Amino acid sequence: MSEDTQVPMKTQAGDPGAFADFDLNRVDSPAFVVDAAKIRSNCQILAEIRDEAEIKVLAALKAFSMHAAAPILGDYLDGVCASGLWEAQLASEYYDGEITTYSPAFKPDELEEICRLSDHVVFNSPEQIARAALILEQAQITSGDVDVGLRLNPMLPLGETEKYDPAAPHSRLGFPVDQLTEDSLNGVDGIHIHTLCEQDFVPLKQVWEHLFDFIEPWFGQLKWINLGGGHHITRADYQRDELIEFLKEVKEDTGAEIILEPGEAVALDAGILTGTLLDTGFNGMPIGITDISATCHMPDVLEAPYRPAMLHESSNQEEIAIRLGGPSCLAGDVIGDYRLPVEAKPGARFAFLDQAHYSMVKTTTFNGVKLPSIWMWDSDSDQLECVKRFDYEDFRERLG
């Protein structure tokens, strides 16, 4: 199916929660607003799973790396997982607990520092581990215990969208499990399996049952098994009781420490992106230009694609929708068609839901479009603080 005709991903979240009563005029525009109370609530759920199943839970920085929230994560979780040197450095500077670092490929001149910062370093293939042997040997001498992991590709695609599925055919992510041999795990302390995307418990169980026979010969030998991310554990309909029993069984069967590394689940429904309608017009349907750009601020809207939920969007199907797009020159910078909760005129304020994860970490300054400011709000105390504002110098200095 071509990208032009593919069905958009379903929005898996979009509960306004405390944002239902938040006054959008309290912040500038555009702006990300993150609810500290919701982050705490999500982390508490993850911690309860961790404690009942007696596993470890790490937060995936690739999804949500707003380090102003690091103290909250540190109160509940066991650490974080990074996707390369800079995230590992961020983790070391701001976050408590363990650091696991995985990348599809490490640069040799960065690997020594990654090993110094990390408790687990996960490689994409046995060949990568072999090439890194000298660096790993030196790391053991200078930095102490550094566990070596191998990411496995279970070769069982279960994702809704192929390009977001790590197990899709011809994926570069992970060592194909059907190529696993006794030599593949020489010097390997643990294995990493990440194949889910915004999914519940059933696909996780399917993946594990598919993998079981491949990796059973190493049960008792592996120190840890990292079941990766993509688990929407904090979503209201997630089967948490089944997950807990499953994790206990996996731990007993394998004799290994079990690790989960949720990303979206940490920040699910914890943030909004506020914007302003700048202009309106008509071209076969109502058109609206906003200071929010899909291209610059919510790239997954175009890449997935998906339609983000709007705070208080009208459910009246008889109302005429307005097509919202960003201020960039890109013709495809279109967010979607919406029935606004306010009159569609210049100056109208609105917000998109569930924008704390993956939107904040992916923003760009393409076309000189201004980056949204970042705010931390605590819906329990109503305390509101501007964490970061971006100015012209941030755009100017990026390319030197």
Higher pLDDT, 1 or 387: 387
- Tell me if the pTM is above 0.85: yes
What pLDDT does residue 6 have?
A: 60
Q: pLDDT, tens digit, for every residue of 242-285?
A: 999 999 999 999 999 999 999 999 999 999 999 999 999 999 99
What pLDDT does residue 161 have?
A: 85
What pLDDT does residue 3 have?
A: 43
Which of 211, 240, 267 terminates a domain? The answer is 267
Q: pLDDT, tens digit, for every residue of 292-347?
A: 999 999 999 999 899 999 999 999 998 999 999 999 999 999 999 999 999 999 99
What pLDDT does residue 253 have?
A: 96
**Same domain for 89 and 120:** yes
Instruction: Return the C-alpha torsion angle 35, 36, 38, 44, nearest 10.
Output: 170
Q: pLDDT, tens digit, for every residue of 5-61?
A: 466 667 766 789 999 999 999 999 999 999 999 999 999 999 999 999 999 999 999
Which of 244, 267, 290 terminates a domain? The answer is 267
pLDDT mean over 223-230: 96
Q: Could you tell me if residue 48 is inside a domain?
A: no
Domain with 220 in it: what CATH number? Answer: 3.20.20.10
**Same domain for 149 and 263:** yes
Q: pLDDT, tens digit, for every residue of 54-78?
A: 999 999 999 999 999 999 999 999 9
CA angle 46/52/55 to nearest 5° reads 70
**Same domain for 293 and 255:** no
User: What is the Cα–Cα distance from 183 to 185, expressed in whole angstroms?
Assistant: 5
What pLDDT does residue 182 have?
A: 87
Tell me, rounded to whole angstroms, the distance of Cα 187 from its chain centroid. 30
Q: pLDDT, tens digit, for every residue of 118-145?
A: 999 999 999 999 999 999 999 888 877 8
Which of 267, 295, 321 terminates a domain? The answer is 267
What's the domain range around 318?
A: 17-34+270-398
Contacts of the segment 253-256: beta carbons below 8 A, 24+ positions apart: 253/219, 254/219, 254/220, 254/222, 254/225, 255/219, 255/220, 255/222, 256/190, 256/219, 256/222, 256/223, 256/224, 256/225
In the predicted model, what is the mean pLDDT of the chain?
95
**Same domain for 394 and 276:** yes
What pLDDT does residue 144 have?
A: 74
What pLDDT does residue 91 have?
A: 98
Q: Could you tell me if residue 45 is inside a domain?
A: no
Q: Could you tell me if residue 80 is inside a domain?
A: yes
What pLDDT does residue 297 have?
A: 98
Q: Could you tell me if residue 165 is inside a domain?
A: yes
Q: Could you tell me if residue 92 is inside a domain?
A: yes
**Same domain for 336 and 196:** no
Q: Which two tokens stand for residue 241?
A: 């009781």
Q: Could you tell me if residue 154 is inside a domain?
A: yes
What pLDDT does residue 13 have?
A: 65
**Same domain for 205 and 77:** yes
What pLDDT does residue 7 have?
A: 61
Q: How confident is the model at residue 2 (pLDDT cuts 50, 70, 90)?
A: very low
